[in-house]
Amino acid sequence: MICLGIESSCDETSVALVDGTVLLGQLTFSQVDMHSVFGGVVPEMASREHLNKVAPLYQNLLRDTGIRQNQINVVAVARGPGLLGCLLVGISFAKGLCLSLNIPLVGVNHLHAHLMAPGMEQELNFPAIGLLVSGGHTSLYLINSPFDFKLLGKTLDDAAGEAFDKAAKSLNIPYPGGIFIDRFASFAQPDHKMFPRPYLDNTNLDFSFSGIKTAMVYHVRDNPGLVLQNPTETGPDFKPSEELATVCSSYNWSIADSLRIKLKRALDRHEVKEVILAGGVAANTMIRESISRLAMERKIRLIMPSIAMCTDNAAMIALYGHMLYTKGYHHSLNLEAVPRGRKIPWDYITLMRDVPTTQFKQE
């Protein structure tokens, strides 16, 4: 069964075709260069750009894969959380296709799709603990099955990716800063005393990254020499000063260790078969190493998507949409977009009598 996936929740327009767990093809247009000038995503520009790109990407995907429109069995689309105007572009395009091809529509929770993304590369076993770290979210889940996610903890303010990007902005490092901080950090050992490890003095599984972000702003204010003079010179051959590398490494370590400790806490409380690390920030070298060490200590299998599958992509939407559809879940054409900060309703239409249709999942 062939499923088309559409992703437009933030600054990547992406379309993909899967046949079960086999990726037939994917095309992604990243708007990063456009937004980097502004130091972050400009929502209205992002939705306009999705509108420009989504149809041509779809046409090119059909051409590249040799799949004909009438071979597509179902359309899956990211329905939230994300930027409302951006989501509406993908959802409208998906609805148009479903209408014209007379095929079903599946709205996909973008966060759950991130956590299921590694399922394209390896088999997932449940129950699992999912740690989702992206630009907009940092959350821990108990995943009993691909259709049963229980939120254990989430950030009370900024997401880890936001903390990376905003710290980078204060250093005049281009957007998205997380990638650059990761790269610069590789040139120095972390100073464990430079930044506090955020929000550990409690017993919960929530996160908070606004404090460490502010600590960086103050550190830069007191050390103005750290600020990059020419952010355009940060190409692959760029080598940061030792001071800048140490700041990046220390900041990265504090975030990584805070994530590790909260994940360890979750593992103490829930017996699971594996840990799934996902989201754009899961591409971070120090975070991958730190969580790998924890998994080894706990003798628990760690699932991490490849770097390409960490960032926003339509393959994960298509894969998870396919899983949902084969389980009997789909939506009607009045599927709604859910912006950031709102609960995603579990509002699937299903023919299965034992599955509730209007149960709200906590986000």
Neighbours of 359 (CB within 10 A): 10
Q: Considering the complex, what minimum distance in angstroms separates the CB of residue 113 from Zn ion?
A: 8
Q: Which CB, 106 or 133, lies closer to ligand KG4?
A: 133
Q: Considering the complex, what minimum distance in angstroms separates the CB of residue 122 from Zn ion?
A: 20
Give the residue carrying structure tokens 């003095």.
201
Note whether 49 binds Zn ion by CB under 5 A.
no
Q: Which CB, 50 or 330, lies closer to ligand KG4?
A: 50
The Cα–Cα gap between 132 and 291 comes to: 12
Q: Amino acid letter at 33?
A: D
Residues 6+ apart with CB under 8 A from 278: 114, 115, 117, 118, 130, 131, 132, 133, 304, 305, 310
Q: Considering the complex, what minimum distance in angstroms separates the CB of residue 99 from ligand KG4?
A: 28
The Cα–Cα gap between 102 and 100 comes to: 6
Q: Which CB, 5 or 104, lies closer to ligand KG4?
A: 5
Contact residues toward ligand KG4 (CB under 6 A) are: 10, 134-136, 161, 164-165, 176-179, 182, 279-281, 283-284, 311-312
Q: Which of 134, 252, 254, 290 binds Zn ion (CB under 5 A)?
A: 134
Q: Binding partner of residue 281 among Zn ion, ligand KG4, none, CB under 5 to 8 Å per kind?
A: ligand KG4
Write the DSSP string, 173-213.
Answer: PPSSHHHHHHHHHTTS---TTTSPPTT-SSSSS-B--HHHH
Q: Considering the complex, what minimum distance in angstroms separates the CB of residue 182 from Zn ion?
A: 17
The piece of 14-22, 24-32, 129-137, 248-256 that touches Zn ion (CB under 5 A) is: 129-137
Task: Annotate each residue in 203-232 with x if it binds Zn ion (CB under 5 A) or - if it does not, as one string.
Answer: ------------------------------
Q: Considering the complex, what minimum distance in angstroms separates the CB of residue 283 from ligand KG4?
A: 4
Q: Residue 282, CB half-sphere, CA atoms under 13 Å: how many? A: 29
**Cα 173 to Cα 127, 183, 205, 250, 308, distances in angstroms:** 39, 12, 31, 16, 22
Q: Considering the complex, what minimum distance in angstroms separates the CB of residue 232 from ligand KG4?
A: 18
Helix, strand, coil abundance in the chain, percent, nearest 5: 45, 20, 35
The piece of 14-22, 101-109, 285-293, 310-318 that touches Zn ion (CB under 5 A) is: 310-318
